[in-house]
Amino acid sequence: KKIEIVFCSSDRDDAAFLEYHNEMTFPALPYNKRDLKNELSKKYGVSGIPSLIFIDAKNGETITKEGRGGISHANFIENFPYHPKPVNDISETLSNLQDEPSLIVFSDYVDENESKLIKADLEVLAKDAKTNDTITIKNYFTADGSGGPINPIKKMMKMQTWPAPYTNGTLVEGEVSDRCYCDGCGKGGADFGKRYQDAANDYDLCLECYEKLSLPIPEDIKAPIMAILDLNDEARGGYYLPTEDMKVVNMDNMQKFIAAYKDKTLERQQA
């Protein structure tokens, strides 16, 4: 698969740009072309770095502005060049999650077959929403445990979290820092108690999450959970959870949940 990469620097001066670019094997936009760099940032909505934009060289059309998430996914080679999909896992992209109402299903503790069935149902809903203007939810996500900010999002919605088993390396006790955060629950280093880390993989756990690794996952956490996030509403940071009668995640209840959101019969909660 052919690809050409061009580096557009946000460094503060030419010396910093040269030092950074010397580590790369691909060309860069000359640092003195600040106006062009700023024009590109505006065109592609770059608000944070690093950002990775994929463009179709045949027609100049944008394929995705979420390339960073694409290359971070386990299937980054198979998924290239990261054309938008009707349903994305949050490990691949968070595109539009903060801007538009989105339905997300957490299936990080269910077995693979159930997770696939949930995604298949979401794909049906997403494709229907694309052609049906009466459906108010246009963005659909899974959080299947393959990566992404699952527990920080759950914590934002005041859900109970549990660290996933860690198999990528060895966790050892390290020095607590205000600049680290727990990959299990999202809390900052100041609240860690103790820090357990795999520095090679940039992975950290607080004392509470580290101790949970040796305990069985509670049954009420294992069940899939759905939520609607409307983080860009008037009050900023809204989210909705299903009522008791539609908590079980299946096609019928997802349709009822979306309809209840449209009818404004759900309780809005603040993140």
Q: Please spell the DSSP secondary structure of 76-121, one letter per residue.
A: HHHHTT----SEEETTT--TTTTTS-EEEEE-TTS-HHHHHHHHHH
For Cα atoms 245, 246, 247, give the angle at the middle one, nearest 5 degrees.
Answer: 105
Specify the pLDDT at position 212: 94
pLDDT at 1 over 70: no
Considering the chain, what is the average pLDDT of its residues? 90
Contacts of 212 (CB under 8 A, 6+ apart): 162, 163, 184
pLDDT at 66 over 90: no
Find the DSSP H helices in 111-250. Answer: 112-131, 150-156, 207-212, 219-222
| Alpha carbons 62 and 69: distance in angstroms, whole number | 15
Specify the pLDDT at position 120: 97
Mean pLDDT of 234-238: 86
pLDDT at 73 over 70: no
In sequence order, the β-bridge partners of residue 196 are 173, 205
Specify the pLDDT at position 160: 85
Structure confidence at residue 139 as a pLDDT band (50, 70, 90) = very high
Query: Could you say which DSSP state residue 28 is in?
Result: B
Phi/psi at 136 (nearest 5 deg)?
A: -85, -20
> pLDDT over 90 for what percent of the chain?
54
